[in-house]
Structure 1
Amino acid sequence: MMSHWKYAVISSLLALCVSSAARAADFPEVDLARAEEINMGRCFLCHGVEGESTTALYPRLAGQHYQYIAKQLADFKAGRRQSDTMVNMAADLAPEEMLALGVYFEKKPTRAQDVQDGELAAIGRFIFLRGNEYSGVAACASCHGERGLGTSQLPRLAGQVPQYIERQLRSFNTRNRTNDNAVMHSIASRLTELEIRSVALYISSLN
């Protein structure tokens, strides 16, 4: 069991990595018409016309920080993040197109998802805001902010598809997620299945 002192150190280090909430973005000048063309040619099939996600298999992109979207696309193209589908989708994208897609989706409206199991979401709220000092799980809010809005460097989690959050946490744990893994593996590897499910459910209720 992790000591209170070690848990406090981890929480403090995570809190230093980013601010607790995202600020309104100052968008760069990009070709939004080109971004819409790319979206309607490929992205919308999985992520929806408005970035709302078409099924539980795919993440919502609406409201996601443009810098984060551009980075993930670059990582897919470079092979730093694995996904046969996304590697192919990003293969011919230029950096300016990746940036344009990021801005395009960040400008899309966001919304919270309806939560059917309030008791499970309440467990998730506790873990998200306070972590679990007995197992060494730091609070998600330490990096992603109390409202799950993230930063330009870390993803917005609020309103995300819960099943997608669950899959990513498991992928971080097993290191199948091959980018952004250092901190997230140390957290995900300590989460129980109950905590994974409850945190994902709570995150989906935020906006």
Structure 2
Amino acid sequence: MRYTQLRRSAAAGWLILMLAAGAQAQDAQLARAEEIVQGKCFICHGVDGESSSPVFPRLAGQHGAYVARQLADYQAGKRKSSTMQAMVEDLNAEDFAALGRYFESRKPVAHAVDDSELAQVGRFVFMRGNPYSGVAACAGCHGPKGHGTPQLPRLAGQHAQYTENQLRLFNKRERSNDNAVMHAIASKLSELELKAVSAYISGLN
């Protein structure tokens, strides 16, 4: 009986040590992410992922794994941007993971739509696509609320201008990663649909 109690006590002690070590590692990772954000990311994306301009993406609430993959793609040249490549050239995979978790932990801010009537057209395209031209519904991959998955980006609340710009890049194949599926969709969007769906996405939360 005494031996069993000792084993249980030892196991409990080991578990406490493991939890403490895990917490320390998370604290260290958060500190590293905050250091990078304060030194690099905040200029364009803001300390809490609320970007300073609609040409830069909002990152608050974005999936950590998705952020980390995009940063790795910039570093490897799979996604083109001289600015971003310079920003990530001295970072490593652990830094990418830390930044992903940091921005995922930031609370997204709800934003009003600039043109509510345009956004209603966008809602139809987002939820149902356009069966007459073959445009697939955005909700089919990104979810009805635009929250995405660890593999697919959260769209909800993104700047309309940024979303519009990315769709144009996909259409022209100038967005050099994640292009296979998105080009097939973006290339079928009319000018109205492109602007409307971007407006609708900007108001999601």
Fold equivalence (TM over 0.5): yes
Report the TM-score when normalising by structure 2. Answer: 0.86
Q: Which residue of 2 aligns with 1:93?
A: 91
The partner residue of 1:60 within 53, 58, 61 is 58
Structure 1 residues 54-203: aligned runs within 5 Å: 54-203=52-201
Task: Letter of the 2:71 partner, please give it.
Answer: L
2: CA distance between counterparts of 1:85 and 1:109? 26
Q: Which residue of 2 aligns with 1:43?
A: 41
Q: Can you list the C-alpha shifts for 1:105-137, whole angstroms capped at 9, x where unaligned?
A: 000010222113111000000000000001100
Contact 2:114 2:199 in 1 (8 A): no
Unaligned residue ranges in structure 2 (runs of 5+): 1-24
Contact 2:66 2:153 in 1 (8 A): yes
Structure index of larger Rg: 2
Task: Letter of the 1:88 partner, please give it.
Answer: A
Contact 2:49 2:103 in 1 (8 A): yes
Q: Can you list the C-alpha shifts for 1:158-204, whole angstroms capped at 9, x where unaligned?
A: 00011000000000000000000000000000001111111011001
Contact 2:136 2:185 in 1 (8 A): yes
2: CA distance between counterparts of 1:71 and 1:88? 16
2: CA distance between counterparts of 1:184 and 1:87? 22
Q: How many pairs does the alignment contain?
A: 180
2: CA distance between counterparts of 1:109 and 1:118? 24
1: CA distance between counterparts of 2:146 and 2:94? 27
Seq. identity, %: 62
User: How many Å apart are 1:42 and its aligned residue?
Assistant: 0.6
Matched position secondary structure for 2:130: coil
1: CA distance between counterparts of 2:55 and 2:201? 16
Report the TM-score when normalising by structure 1. Answer: 0.85
1: CA distance between counterparts of 2:95 and 2:112? 33
1: CA distance between counterparts of 2:106 and 2:115? 28
1: CA distance between counterparts of 2:36 and 2:195? 33
Task: Letter of the 1:161 partner, please give it.
Answer: H
Contact 1:112 1:158 in 2 (8 A): no
Unaligned residue ranges in structure 1 (runs of 5+): 1-27
2: CA distance between counterparts of 1:82 and 1:139? 27
2: CA distance between counterparts of 1:34 and 1:104? 10
